Amino acid sequence: MADISTDILGMKMKNPVMPAAGPPCLDGDAMVAVSEGGAGAIVAKTVSRQPAKVPRPCMYRIRNSMLNTELWSDLPVEQWIKTEYKKALSTGLPLIASLGYNAEDIGELAPKLEKAGVHALELSTHYLGTDPKPMVDAIKAAKEGTSIPVLPKLSPNILDIMEFARAAVKAGADGIVAINSLGPCLTIDLETGMPVLGGDSGYGWVSGDAIKPVALRCVYDIARAVDVPVIGVGGIRTGRDAAEFIMAGAAGVGVCTAAILEGPSVFGRIARELEVFMTAHDYRSIEDMRGVAIRNAKGRKGKTTPSYPKVDADLCTGCGVCVKHCIYDALTLKDDVAQVDRKKCYGCGLCTSYCAVRAIKIKYW
């Protein structure tokens, strides 16, 4: 079997799957449940100098995604220091505390959290805007008062995330977490004709499946821009999702929405699926697989001439799903095996994303 244990900034983990800051780690008991669910590390809910006043309702599921208008923890930071972190530390897992928001808040809180025994600090930059300066000041404030690793968490709203990542590392960041939820967004209750979520605007921030491609691109860009560990977050729900983030350069992965929707056993399930995937694909370790997509795509030139899909007749079940979905009408079934009409095929690749048994493949590189 592949070895999925890892070490991120001196934090030893049995696997690289951890919660992302949010309701799965809203207090000490929840963090113990996350550990029992099989996570390799714990990331606590964000704290700030004042408890948050969270609008209600604050969560709404949309398929495997959700909108939320939660803020940071509504528990006082003193309670976190006195009780909640201690419970998390009792699990023996590495504990990353999340805190926000500006340099003043962070300068005051960071040394207190270090003293409480947490192993690293994640800085939420969610409300700091798209200019790197407030984030840089926040990192410097955290670094000045502490000696544990500091990892800013970047928002997908940042236009040039590579520039942000470079600025973060220059300011002393030891690693980077990406991404937070994406927004603002809106969902409307068709019965009341009102925005569903409870803030004044009714806005929410989207997470889960819907943001995975955004998150993956951000992680890929950050990992190409800087040489520090990146924790990839955004739409991770399966071991294959986790593998994609690691191939894009992530050293570890964070899961929030899937943990809300499925419960804490999600961490162990994703870790087991990752191990199975890596073993089947001959990756011996996380380090072996980390950044493989960056290396493979280096210097790659885009293509404009079509390749045509090939069907593995032994794997094809004749289900007809690809036939139904080929917008160019280039697929038919013959003797329960999909057939490609090259005169009609555009080489678009869509059919390969439909086949559940991966019987139809297209080779461009």
Ligand X SMILES: Cc1cc2nc3c(=O)[nH]c(=O)nc-3n(C[C@H](O)[C@H](O)[C@H](O)COP(=O)(O)O)c2cc1C
Which residues contact ligand X by CB under 6 A? Answer: 20-23, 45-46, 59, 66, 68, 70, 72, 98, 124, 153, 180-181, 207-208, 211, 233-236, 255-258
Interface with ligand SF4 includes 51 (CB under 6 A)? no
Of 352, 322, 317, 354, the closest CA to residue 337 belongs to 317
In the list ligand X, ligand SF4, none, the entry touching 180 (Cβ below 5 to 8 angstroms by class) is: ligand X
Looking only at residues 271 through 310 of this chain, which bind ligand SF4 when binding is defined by CB under 6 A?
Answer: 309
Q: For residues 270 and 238, is the Cβ–Cβ distance under 8 A?
A: yes
The string over 214-246, giving b where at least 16 C-beta atoms fall within 10 Å of a residue's C-beta and e elsewhere, is bbbbbbbbbbbbbebbbbbbbbbbebebbbbbb
Residue 249 C-beta: closest distance to ligand X, Å: 17
When asked if residue 350 is in the footprint of ligand SF4 (CB under 6 A), the reply is yes
Amino acid symbol at 39 = A
User: What string marks each residue from 307 to 346 as x (binds ligand SF4 by CB under 6 A) or -?
Assistant: --x-x----xxxxxxx---x-x-xx------x-x----xx
Question: CB under 5 to 8 A by kind: which of ligand SF4, ligand X, none does 355 bind?
Answer: ligand SF4
Q: Give me the least distance between CB of 303 and ligand SF4, in Å please.
A: 13
**Is there binding between residue 361 and ligand SF4 (CB under 6 A)?**
no
Half-sphere exposure of residue 185, counting CA atoms within 13 Å on the CB side? 20
What, of ligand SF4, ligand X, none, does residue 34 touch, CB below 5 to 8 Å by kind?
none
Q: What angle do CA 96, 184, 155 make, to 5 degrees?
A: 35
Angle between helix 212-225 and 161-170 (nearest 10)? 50
Per DSSP, 294 falls in state H
Q: Please identify, using beta-carbon distances, which residue of 45 and 119 lies nearer to ligand X.
A: 45
**Which residues have a Cβ under 8 Å from the Cβ of 314 and sit 6 or more positions away?**
none
Distance, in Å, from the CA atom of 301 to the CA atom of 254, rounded to the nearest integer, reads: 32
Residues lying near ligand SF4 in the complex (CB under 6 A) = 309, 311, 316-322, 326, 328, 330-331, 338, 340, 345-351, 354-355, 357, 359-360, 362
